[in-house]
Structure formats: C-alpha cells, structure tokens
Structure 1
C-alpha cells in the first residue's frame, strides 16, 4: 500500500471502520510501496484483543452491547503493522523464506474442517488486511509468458481482505513478531480468465466485517465459514508494467494501465505527446505573430473624432472624394516663381534659353551631328564623348560612323 497509516486511518473512518490506534507515519516497519511483496509489513485492521486472541469464554452481556450477535459499542479496533506470511505462535526459531511463503495465503476450504494449522487462528485471531488492490499474473504460452494485472475496486475504496493473524516470540528474544495470512476463495466470474483463486473481499464497514472481527465469536461456525465467498461487487482489472514482477522495483506507474495515456512508458503515448507538443508550439507561434502584427500595424490609421471625410469612413472608396487643395499666399508665391521669366533689364536678352537634349532612340542608325556648336574633345577628359550606336544584328557598322568620333 502506498498510503501513510494516517491517510488509511482517515479513509477507513469515512467508511464506518474507526480505529482507536494506528502506527505513526514515521514508523519504518510499515512498508509504503506500489510493489508489496511477502515479508513486508502492511496494515492490518483487527479488534483490540490480547496477543493470545479473543477470550474463549462468553463475555458478560452487561459489558458488551450486541446487535444480532455482533459486538458494537464496547469493541475497540486498531490498525497494526504486521508481516505478510503467518508464523504460528509455537514456532521456536525464525523460519526460512521458503517456509514463510507457504503461509502467505490460506484456502477457505481448509478452514471448513477441524484441526490443522489454522485451527487456533480462525477461532480467536481473525483480521482484515487493508490495501488498495492486488496483482495477479496471467499465464500465456503454457506459462512461458506472464502478464501482470492490477485488480482494484471500481468505486476507488480501499480493499478489505479476510485474514488471520498471530503473534510469535522466538526463544531467547524479547521482541514479539506479528504476522498474517490472506484467505483465498474461488474466483468470481470477472476474474476467472486471470486465475482460479482470489482473496476474500469484504465490503467496507459492512455487517460481514463486524461479524468477522467480533471477539465474542471465539468458536468457528458455519456462519463464519459462509462469509468466505467470491466478491460480488464491481472490480477493475487491467494489465500493468512487467517491472512490477521484480521485487525491489517501486513506481506509481505500476498501478496505471499499460495502454493508458497517463503511462509514460507507452510508446504510443510518446509519439502522441510529441505531435501534441508540436501542434501547441505552432499554435503558440501563430498567436504570437498575430499579436506582433497588431502591435505594429494596428494604430497605423487613426480616425479623429471630428473627421467626416468619406475616405476615412469608407477606406474602400476611390480618391474622387479626396478634398481639393486650397490656394494660400504660399502657393501664390510658388506659382509666380514658376512663370517664364520676362525681359531682363541687364540686357542679356540674346542669351538662349537652355535647350532640352533629347536622347536618341536605340534603333537609330547614327547620332545626329547637327547642333549649335560642337564640343571639342579634351586630352584631359572624355566625359562628353558620344556613345557609339549599337551594332547591327550582323555585327557590321557603316563606315561613316567611325568619322563621327
């Protein structure tokens, strides 16, 4: 379980399962992980009874109020850290890992007969194992391929497994060790494809929970046996990352569907996120360019409050509606200077006005030699040299063109 003890305690309280005691959040014995393995310490919900279990003699009715045989007001409950893999109280020395693995689960049909390993526990030491869900492996290709699946309640509530607990104290040691086992039964219809066995799951805060934990029931009965049946509620089951199969690995992605969009290891999600990121970057770039255009061109044309020209009101109209320029003193002055000058009093009336030189067209055969005077060539400058006409298409020119230079 990934929750802290305080968080699990609050959620159980909301589901009508109060706990008067619970481990501290900084208790290192409680394993907070997404990959809980046998030998780890988890949270167990049980009646607050001595380590030897519930009393075998009937309790005084004056001290315990009961409703249909189930203890109510006088029964106190507690959350306790226990190790997964039950070790019976008569064990003298710590068993090896292989022997402990034999007691991580307990078949429900093994409790229907008297005697056996579980005889004392089933009568006096019944408990609830609190978790968020469990893993089961789907075998394919004759067991060569094993695909892990995560199973949880569809409503998101914590899971409550039926279990048995015990307390052992090895020889020569003062510390006590609390351990538990999970009771299994036949799989329901939903999980038949996955495995033929599943944990016994109780509805949180139900009468079945109260009956199972009732310390007044110190003898095994058919009623208790009848509680051990396949779960009839709705479950969610989906494949998850195979990395959960290695003990020591731990990641929140272990409880996320392998094909979910939230799963970062899904290669399809990787390319989908790349396309989404590229699209968002392009959209952001387009918006940025539009903002820049508005800032640089948005105030280019401003309309004054007293402006009533149609060119402003209708920018699509022609220039026929543009206002005509008004004549002012300044414009009269410029107009007078533009008039052709008259007879000058200084007597320079014989000076010819400057003539406008017209360039010869490119298709003329030669440059005209007529004029009021011929500019002499200078040994210093040759700026006034006339350009030679373009050659004819056959590359020849008239002989007279050479004397014009």
Structure 2
C-alpha cells in the first residue's frame, strides 16, 4: 500500500539525476508555471506528480503543445545521444520499428488513475480509489487495468514513501518514512492513462493525464510495517527498461516478473505525526524522530510538571498529577520527605504554683567536639512587665510572688529566689 510519498525535487533536478544514471530525458516540464509538477514532502492523492515514460506511437499527444517544456530541448536531445546514452543505444528494446532511438520523457500527471473509457470528468473520490494497483490483479486478462498494462506503463519518480504502523491494542498509528539507504531516487512501477471529455459549461474539450502506483508483497525488511509495498526498480536495470519498452504490447511472464519486492537495502524510521494531515508540508517530515523522545523525554517531563505546578499555584499549593486536594487538607508530595519538628515541653507554671524545674538530660555517650559555652552575663535582678528573661526559655514570664518581710510592706523577691527553690 502506498498512500503518501515524498517528492520535493524539481524536474530539472530529476533530469540531472536520471542522466547521471544513464537514463535519457528528451523532454521535461518546467520547474515552475503551468504544467509543472508539485514539489512536496507530503505528496497526496490528487497532486500532480512526475512520471517517466517512453513516447508511444498510438497518437496519444496532447490537445495542445506539452506545456512547460524545458528550454533548450535540442541541447537536451544532444546530451541524450551523447554520454547519457552510450550504454543503452546498443539495446534492441531502445529502438523503434524504424530503427530510431525511443524517446523518453518526464511528464506531469495527476495521482489517481482515471481510465480513458470513463464517461465523466475525474473527481477526487474516483481518483482515491485508483492510486494503487495490485500486481496480482495484472496477472489475469481483462479487468480495469487490461488495456493500460499493454502499452501504458510508466515509472513514478519519488524520494521515499510513508507507511503507518498500527501497534496491537493501540488506536494511534505511527507514521514511518521509507527511503533507499544509498540515497538514490525511488522509481515505482506505474500505469498511466489520459481521459478526454467536453466541459459542459464552456463546451471546450479537456483532458487529464493520470497515473497509479503498482504494489506487491512487502519484503522482509518492511513486513513489520505493512504487508504491501510499491514495486521499486533499480535505476537503469534490466527490469526497468523491460517495463518501459514500448514494443512489448502483449502481457507476458517477463513483464509480470518485473513486479517483485525490492531486494536492495532500505532505511525505515518513525517520523512526525503531522505528516498524516493532507495539506501539511515540511522538510522535517522526512527526519527521524524517536518514540522515546516524543513520550518519555526530559523535555516533556518538565512540560508536564509545569502544567501541574501552575494549576496548583492557582489554588495556593501544588496539585501535580495526583489531583487537587481540599483547602487545609493538602499533603506533601510522596517524593518529599516529611521533616519532624522538635517542640519544647510547656513549662508554664499553673496559677499559684512555683515554676517547673528543668530536668537535665544525660550527657551523650560520645562527647561533642564543641565546648559548652557559658555566658559571662549574670541574670538581671529586675524584670520588666510584659518581657521575659533572656536566660529562661519559657513561653511566659514567671509569676511574681509577694511576701511580707517582718509584717511590713510587701516586697518583691528577686527572680533568683525562684531558681533557688
């Protein structure tokens, strides 16, 4: 299955790469303007793509001159007959009946094949059903592809394709990008057709060139991802030229034998989920992304903590992932250790009773290296109302006791008198 692929190269770039691999390009669309293919890292059905095919002798010429031909076609033809053609001119299947070399061209077509015998204008719903063609459906005579497989064979130019992995028990599908490990172009086996109709509104004759990608069983490397994959040709291989040979007008075992799983080495890795949205286009779609980075990364850890912390601060505390607690019943998070608070015993004397004596604790078995500090300041003999002595760690001022000395007026005893008791 191939429902999305990447093709961001311009026709001029494709032309140079083809000629470098000894594949002639006698005609190509312009990089921009009318008739130019779409460049996209997220190539979807209905887009205009780049296909490579041999010129046929069945009168399938455009109603108007092929739009967007690259300037300097004569120079390109000369290049095709030169070094770019030295290895292929000797092959008999590169020559037509008149002994002349077969011309090959890059052409703009819409992805989603509409048969020429269709009686209505192509729409997106119809295109979507014919973006792929199974290889086993071509082994039987007749059918939807019966006329196209005999003389309308082509190669679809791409850089790589996407496939979605559906892990068992999970709803989300993970997009993966597949490309050649050697970095070369991916050349898919395809079929093309041209439909012509009359526009009911303008009463003008119109035409649409469309194509489909042929799929076969997945090779061992892609079996974990999907049970189908596009048929991929090696550039300039024997199967490549056999598939494009315009003189092969009868379906044979040799042509069927071209449709087999790719034997080369591929590179497969997960990519951004945004590639699943039609219309989104970004170079990052072909850059690998690890699943662990998208779920368990340290960046996402702090992102979650920030969201939880913000929610908690609005309530005056930390809510986190454990949920918010009622005011006054908040508990520290499980990971935070609870520190004990040492409290002094209440030594405030009751009314009418002498103050408590502070019991001395036994010294520690292991002597402390810090010597005990003795203050040189003696306790004061007077007290101020509302203040406590600096030498006594109590919560309230001790109660004053008043006695009569020799039956005379009341006198206040010194505060040291209480400690004497």
**TM-score bracket, shorter-length normalisation:** 0.5 to 0.7
Between the aligned partners of 2:128 and 2:95, the Cα distance in structure 1 is 34
Q: CA deviation at 1:41?
A: 0.4
Q: Is residue 125 from structure 1 mapped to residue 152 from structure 2 by the alignment?
A: yes
Q: Is residue 7 from structure 1 mapped to residue 35 from structure 2 by the alignment?
A: no
Q: CA deviation at 1:162?
A: 0.3
Asked whether the 8 Å contact 1:5–1:43 carries over to 2, the reply is: yes
Equivalent residue of 1:181, what SS? strand
In structure 2, what is the equivalent of residue 225 of structure 1? 256
Q: Could you say if the C-alpha distance between residues 266 and 114 of structure 1 is closer, same or farther in structure 2, counting changes exceeding 3 Å?
A: same
Q: Which of 190, 193, 205 is 2:221 aligned to?
A: 190
Between the aligned partners of 2:271 and 2:43, the Cα distance in structure 1 is 15
Residues 231-257 of structure 1: CA deviation (Å, up to 9, x unaligned):
000000000000000001110000000
Q: CA deviation at 1:91?
A: 1.6
Asked whether the 8 Å contact 1:38–1:84 carries over to 2, the reply is: yes
Q: Could you say if the C-alpha distance between residues 171 and 244 of structure 1 is closer, same or farther in structure 2, counting changes exceeding 3 Å?
A: same
The 5-angstrom pairing of residues 164-243 of structure 1 reads: 164-172=191-199, 173-243=204-274
Q: CA deviation at 1:268?
A: 5.3
- Runs of 5+ in structure 1 lacking a partner? 55-63, 272-405
The 5-angstrom pairing of residues 137-176 of structure 1 reads: 137-142=164-169, 144-172=171-199, 173-176=204-207
Q: CA deviation at 1:50?
A: 4.8
Residues 274-302 of structure 1: CA deviation (Å, up to 9, x unaligned):
xxxxxxxxxxxxxxxxxxxxxxxxxxxxx
Q: Which of 84, 87, 93 is 2:114 aligned to?
A: 87
In structure 2, what is the equivalent of residue 16 of structure 1? 22
Between the aligned partners of 2:205 and 2:170, the Cα distance in structure 1 is 45
Q: CA deviation at 1:270?
A: 7.0
Q: CA deviation at 1:98?
A: 2.3
Equivalent residue of 1:100, what SS? helix
Q: CA deviation at 1:17?
A: 1.4
Asked whether the 8 Å contact 1:93–1:171 carries over to 2, the reply is: no
Between the aligned partners of 2:287 and 2:37, the Cα distance in structure 1 is 23
Pair member with larger Rg: 1
Asked whether the 8 Å contact 1:163–1:181 carries over to 2, the reply is: yes
Equivalent residue of 1:192, what SS? coil
Query: TM-score, length-normalised on structure 1?
Result: 0.60
Asked whether the 8 Å contact 2:196–2:205 carries over to 1, the reply is: yes
Q: Could you say if the C-alpha distance between residues 98 and 137 of structure 1 is closer, same or farther in structure 2, counting changes exceeding 3 Å?
A: same
CA-atom RMSD in angstroms: 2.8
- Runs of 5+ in structure 2 lacking a partner? 1-6, 62-87, 301-421
Asked whether the 8 Å contact 1:53–1:125 carries over to 2, the reply is: no
In structure 2, what is the equivalent of residue 104 of structure 1? 131
Between the aligned partners of 1:129 and 1:154, the Cα distance in structure 2 is 19
Q: CA deviation at 1:267?
A: 9.0
Residues 69-108 of structure 1: CA deviation (Å, up to 9, x unaligned):
4548611100001000000011222243222211100000
Q: Is residue 30 from structure 1 mapped to residue 37 from structure 2 by the alignment?
A: yes
Q: Which of 124, 127, 135 is 2:162 aligned to?
A: 135
Between the aligned partners of 1:115 and 1:225, the Cα distance in structure 2 is 15
In structure 2, what is the equivalent of residue 75 of structure 1? 102
Query: TM-score, length-normalised on structure 2?
Result: 0.58
Equivalent residue of 2:13, what SS? helix
Asked whether the 8 Å contact 1:23–1:79 carries over to 2, the reply is: yes
What count of residue pairs does the alignment treat as equivalent? 262
Q: CA deviation at 1:48?
A: 1.6
Q: CA deviation at 1:30?
A: 1.3
In structure 1, what is the equivalent of residue 279 of structure 2? 248
In structure 1, what is the equivalent of residue 320 of structure 2? none
